[in-house]
Amino acid sequence: MAHKPGYFGEYGGCFAPETLMEPLAALEKAYHQHVSTTAFQCELTGYLKHYVGRPTPLYFAKRLTEQLHGAQIYLKREDLIHTGAHKINNTMGQGLLAKRMGKTRLIAETGAGQHGVATATVASLLGLSCVVYMGAVDMARQPLNVIRMRILGADVRCVTAGSQTLKEATSEAMRDWVSQVDESYYVLGSALGPHPYPMIVRQFQRVIGVEARVQIKEAIGRLPNELVACVGGGSNAIGLFHPFLEDENVRMTGVEAGGKGIVSGLHAARFAGGRKGVLQGTKSYLLQDAHGQVAETHSISAGLDYPSVGPEHAYLHDIKRVNYTYALDKEAIDAAFLLSRLEGILPALESAHALAYVIKTAGQLSQDDIMLVGLSGRGDKDVETLSHFLGESDVADTI
C-alpha cells in the first residue's frame, strides 16, 4: 500500500514546533543524500561487523523447547552485540549521519539506559560530545547504565518532571535540540517521534530481520511460523518484522508491557488500553485519560514504560498484519528466570516480555512449528530488580 509521505496509513506525521520543522526537513534531506551511497553503506557495514559484532547468532533454545513441549524456539541474539542490546544498530547509523551533517554534539533520551549507553558509545568512537536525558525514576532503577554512560564521557542529565521516566526524558531532549540545533544532532532511540525518525530508525534496525531471515533458512530450510518481539517504542520489533511483512504465512506478535494488569491502570499496553492520539511529534495509539491527558504508565522494565507506540506498529495493528498482546510484570520476571536457568542466558526484562508470550503459547503448537524470538538485550542492567524476586519466582519448581 502506498502511504502519504511521513505516514503509515493515518499514523505518523510531523507534529512538531515550528522551530523544529527546518531541522527535521534537513535531517530527511541528509538521510536521503547520504545513507544510500556506497561510501556510507560500506562504512556502516564495516562498523557493524568489526565494532558492533554483527551478524548476531540465531540460537536454537533446545532446553527451553523441551520444557515447553511444543514449538521449536529460536532466539535472535541481539544481547550479544557491543553494549548489550539492539540499540547500537541505530545509534551507529545515526552517528555516522550526524558526522556527515557536520554536527559535533549528540543528544539522546533513554529509559532503560541502553539507548543512552549506545549513543554515548558511538559519540566516543566518532569524537563527538554527548548529552543523555534520563528520568529520575529510571536512573534509580538502572544505576549500572548511568555509570556506564558517565564512564564513556556522556553528560547524563536527570529529569524530575512528571512521571520522571522516558516520556519526560524525550521532551527534555527535544527542548535541548531546539536550543542548540546548529551543532546538535538528536539521536532518537526508537521508531517513533516526528517524521523522518520512525522511518530512519526502522531502516537502521532492519538488519535484525535481514540477518534472521537468512539464518533461519540456513538452519531449517524455510521461514519460521511466527516472529515474536517485545514492543515499547517498537524499534527492535519493527527491525525484526519488516523484512518479513510480505511473507503472508509468517505470523508476527508484538508483546507490550501489561504491568500489573489492564484493569489496574498500571501498565504500558497501548493497544489494549489506549486510543488514537498525538504525542511528541507523531500520531499513534496513546494511553490517555477521559480528558485526553497523557496517562501515567507502569512496567517492571524501564524500556517498555512509555505511553505511546511507533506509528508503523499502529498501522500494522489496524490492518491486522501483526498481532499485539501483552505480558504482566510477574510473567516477564518468571520468563527471565526460566531462560536463565534452562539456557544460561539472562535476558533483559524487556525481552522477557516476548519470552513470556512464548512460554504461554508454545505448548499449544505443533513440534513442527518454529517460533523466532527477538532477544533484544541482555539482563545485566536488571539484576538488581531481579534480585528482589529470587525467592518468589515460580520457575524453580517447574525445572
Q: Where are the beta strands (DSSP E) in the chain?
A: 7-8, 11-12, 58-60, 72-77, 105-110, 129-135, 155-159, 184-186, 226-230, 251-259, 275-279, 282-286, 323-328, 370-375
pTM, entire model: 0.96
> For residue 1, is it within any domain?
no
CATH number of residue 319's parent domain? 3.40.50.1100
31 and 92 fall within a common domain:
yes
Q: Which of 284, 299, 308, 376 is catalytic?
A: 376
> Where does a domain end: 147, 166, 201?
201
195 and 302 fall within a common domain:
no
pLDDT tier, 397 (very low <50, low <70, confident <90, very high otherwise): low
> For residue 284, is it within any domain?
yes
Determine the pLDDT at residue 166.
Answer: 86
Q: Is 87 a catalytic residue?
A: yes
Determine the pLDDT at residue 360.
Answer: 98
Instruction: Say how many domains are in the chain.
Output: 2
264 and 380 fall within a common domain:
yes
337 and 283 fall within a common domain:
yes
67 and 173 fall within a common domain:
no
d(CA 20, CA 177): 8
Domain that holds residue 93: 20-43+87-201
d(CA 93, CA 27): 13
Q: What percent of the chain stands above pLDDT 70?
A: 98
> Where does a domain end: 201, 234, 260?
201
Determine the pLDDT at residue 333.
Answer: 98
Q: Is 109 a catalytic residue?
A: yes
Indicate whether 351 pLDDT > 70: yes
Indicate whether 394 pLDDT > 90: no
Q: Which of 28, 76, 78, 87 is catalytic?
A: 87
105 and 178 fall within a common domain:
yes
121 and 230 fall within a common domain:
no
> For residue 91, is it within any domain?
yes
Q: Which of 28, 76, 103, 109 is catalytic?
A: 109
Determine the pLDDT at residue 391.
Answer: 79
Q: Is 103 a catalytic residue?
A: no
Closest of 50, 162, 26 to residue 98, by C-alpha: 26
Closest of 182, 192, 241 to residue 15, by C-alpha: 192
> For residue 350, is it within any domain?
yes
323 and 334 fall within a common domain:
yes
pLDDT in tens, 300-313: 998 999 999 999 99
pLDDT tier, 393 (very low <50, low <70, confident <90, very high otherwise): low
Indicate whether 395 pLDDT > 80: no
Residue 19's H or E segment, with its range, is helix 18-34
Rg (CA), the chain: 20
> For residue 8, is it within any domain?
no
250 and 277 fall within a common domain:
yes
Q: What percent of the chain stands above pLDDT 90?
A: 92
Indicate whether 316 pLDDT > 80: yes
Determine the pLDDT at residue 209.
Answer: 98
> Where does a domain end: 156, 180, 201?
201
Q: Which residues does 240 contact at the CB level (< 8 Å), separation at least 6?
A: 76, 208, 209, 212, 227, 229, 372, 374
Determine the pLDDT at residue 1.
Answer: 59
Determine the pLDDT at residue 165.
Answer: 87
> For residue 15, is it within any domain?
no
- What average pLDDT is seen over the chain? 96
> For residue 184, is it within any domain?
yes
> For residue 3, is it within any domain?
no
Query: Are the beta carbons of 208 and 55 closer than 8 angstroms?
Result: no
Q: Is 60 helix (H, G, I), strand (E, B) or coil?
A: strand
Indicate whether 288 pLDDT > 80: yes
175 and 149 fall within a common domain:
yes
Indicate whether 399 pLDDT > 90: no
Determine the pLDDT at residue 396.
Answer: 54
Please tell me which residue, 4 or 227, carries the higher pLDDT value: 227
65 and 93 fall within a common domain:
no
d(CA 104, CA 232): 29
32 and 98 fall within a common domain:
yes
